[in-house]
Structure 1
């Protein structure tokens, strides 16, 4: 196993930089998720790491080895990496056992060694009872486990996963997130996991690199990314925060829609524009005026949706800005009602970018 180090990695298709000067260090044994919307460059970055694409600029180092640069790109088969594709790419005419040991047979390992490794991986991935079935006889989750077993049995330095759960239904997808994390904790391969699903990233990753427009917008632990976003893009993409745009009154106060908000996060410049993020479940909503007017805003309910465990409100404040608030189901305020929003200061985060 080894670290993966991207240094100024760039990939252009014509004049378009799909991956634009990405630098990212993935330490030995870490699981890092490249997270972002379609077209942000995450899958292209993964294919550059795998060796399927050559970089237009920059370098990729795996441990002490330079595996990609403008001058030379090591082919995929010489990188000691395993990749799991969105489609699983199982051989339909081979049994589970034959699919799993295919890479070992290509490496010409002896029969006893193959048998020992197969028994261990079947037990780890809970596939013993399915060993003689064919892919067409398996569920999506079972096929996913076969793909994982085949990737892990060859003991790669690096494991690459390209949206591996996107073909599964919601319940199975949730189950497989924990399975992928369990297998990572057992084997501790250096892993790069591409997804557009923030729940997958939050569940599986040691670090999340949020990508936008070919660049890494922010990197940090799941808690860092969720609780301390640095940019408007990250705040909106992770957890769907409300983004408030006002004017800084001083280093930690913002005027917005006729109200004054005390905020935390990036220091503000008085008189300059300020951008503040607050998550919808952190906003209090009441028909009663609060005792203090600081961090309190008057609004009108424009939409209310019952979600079973909560109610989802859309409200409009004095300057026409719409905000979302999630409340317990007991808070039942009809459309058109005047309400007061309470925005806790410790949850109002000023963004640095």
Structure 2
């Protein structure tokens, strides 16, 4: 088995740039999520890997074999890849067993081999009891497992998933995130997974590639992406951070709304404009001024919403910046109340690139 490598990959449609200078190496057995909002280039990148579209520039390699370049593109059927779409694309007139075995039969494998592989994948995907049912008799989650089993049973070098859980309800999506990870751990296929849902990416991925405007904004493990966002875009997209703009006082302090905050993330230069990322749940909302006043900003509550397991507040700083805070459900503060927001130094991360989204 070999790594999948994208080298300076680009795709243009006339003057419109869908993917621009994307370089990425996916090691064998890794599950990599392409994560980003609609229009960021993630699905185009996946379709380039699959061979459904040709690149305008750059190359796609599996091992030392070039599969795509502007000069030549190996067609999808010439790549040892399986792709799972948003629609499960199951044959309605075939049973679960017939759907799963379809790829093996068109490869003209002998009957004993087909039966052995089918039995193994049905067991792994927990589909044995459903083998004789038709797709119309299955739930959405069951259909998704059939689709996964059909893709995996042919033992592809690379497994491609395009928003595979988007048609499921919330509870099923949560269940299937873990199911996809479990099946990946069992088979260890090189997997590229496209999603706009950060919870899916955090749950399933070894490596997350955050995309924005056709480019890679940041690449890292789920923990690195969450704890160390390098741009305002990544900080907002992953975990719902507040972005506060202030002026650096020295290498480790920023003044925001008249308050002096300790900042981490990168060394600062006195006088520079700095964007700080502060996550909503890391802010402590206080109804009385603290005695120490370290990393504390004064604000006025403008909105509060009870969400059952938590409360969501919006407060306005002295410089008119709005900031959101998530608190335990028993922290009840009325709009108009004066509050003090304590922001831990480890949670105040100085970002690269100012306040750009």
TM (norm. structure 1) is 0.99
Q: Which residue of 2 aligns with 1:221?
A: 221
Which structure 2 residues correspond to residues 315-334 of structure 1 after superposition, within 5 A?
315-334=315-334
**CA distance in 2 between partners of 1:78 and 1:101 (Å):** 20
Report how far residue 292 of structure 1 moved: 2.2
Query: Which residue in the other structure is 1:137 paired with?
Result: 137
2:53 is matched with which residue?
53
Separation in 1 of the partners of 2:88 and 2:33?
A: 19
CA contact (8 A) 1:2 1:29 kept: no
Deviation at 1:192, TM superposition (A): 0.1
The residue that corresponds to 1:158 in the other structure is 158
Offset of residue 17 of structure 1: 1.0
Range moving further from structure 2, 161-170 or 86-95: 86-95
CA distance in 2, matches of 1:19, 1:77: 23
2:21 aligned with 1:3: no
| Residue 41 of structure 1: aligned partner | 41
In the TM superposition, what whole-angstrom CA distance separates every residue of 1:308-342 from its partner, at most 9, and x where no partner exists? 11111100010100000111122111110000111
**Could you tell me whether the CA contact under 8 Å between 1:305 and 1:312 is conserved in 2?**
yes
Superposition pairs of residues 139-288 of structure 1, within 5 angstroms = 139-288=139-288
Cα-Cα RMSD: 0.7
Deviation at residue 105 of structure 1 after TM alignment: 0.9
State the 1:63 CA deviation. Answer: 1.4
Deviations 1:212-232 (CA, angstroms, capped at 9, x unpaired): 000010000000001110000
For residue 25 of structure 2, what is the aligned residue in structure 1? 25
> Does the CA-based 8 Å contact 1:2-1:158 persist in structure 2?
no
| Inter-partner Cα distance in structure 2 for 1:324 and 1:196 | 22
Deviates more, 1:263-272 or 1:287-296: 287-296
Whether the aligned pair in 2 keeps the contact of 1:210 and 1:216 (CA below 8 Å) is yes
Secondary structure at the residue paired with 1:264?
A: coil
- The 3-state SS of whatever aligns with 1:242 is strand
Moved over 2 A (4+): none
Q: CA deviation at 1:175?
A: 0.3
Per-residue Cα deviation, 1:94-138 (whole angstroms, up to 9, x for no partner)? 111111111111110000000000000010001111111111111
- Matched with 1:79 is 79
Q: Deviations over 1:225-283 (max 9, x none)?
A: 01110000000000010000111111111111011111000111111100100101111
CA deviations 1:172-208 (Å, max 9, x no partner) are 0000000000000000000000000000000000000
Q: What secondary structure, in the 3-state scheme, does the structure 2 residue paired with 1:290 have?
A: coil
SS in 2 for 1:101: helix
TM-score (norm 2): 0.98
Structure 1 residue 140, shift from structure 2 partner: 0.5
Matched residue, 1:127: 127
Indicate the SS of the match to 1:191: strand
The answer (yes or no) to whether the contact 1:232–1:277 under 8 Å persists in 2 is yes
SS of residue in 1 equivalent to 2:281? helix
Distance, in Å, in 1 between the alignment partners of 2:293 and 2:146 is 59
Cα distance in 2 for partners of 1:60, 1:108 equals 29
Structure 2: give runs of 5+ residues left out of the alignment: none
Q: What displacement does 1:294 show?
A: 3.0
- Partner-residue secondary structure (3-state), 1:194: strand
> 2-side partners of 1:306 and 1:166: how far apart?
27
* Aligned partners of 1:299 and 1:338 also within 8 Å: yes
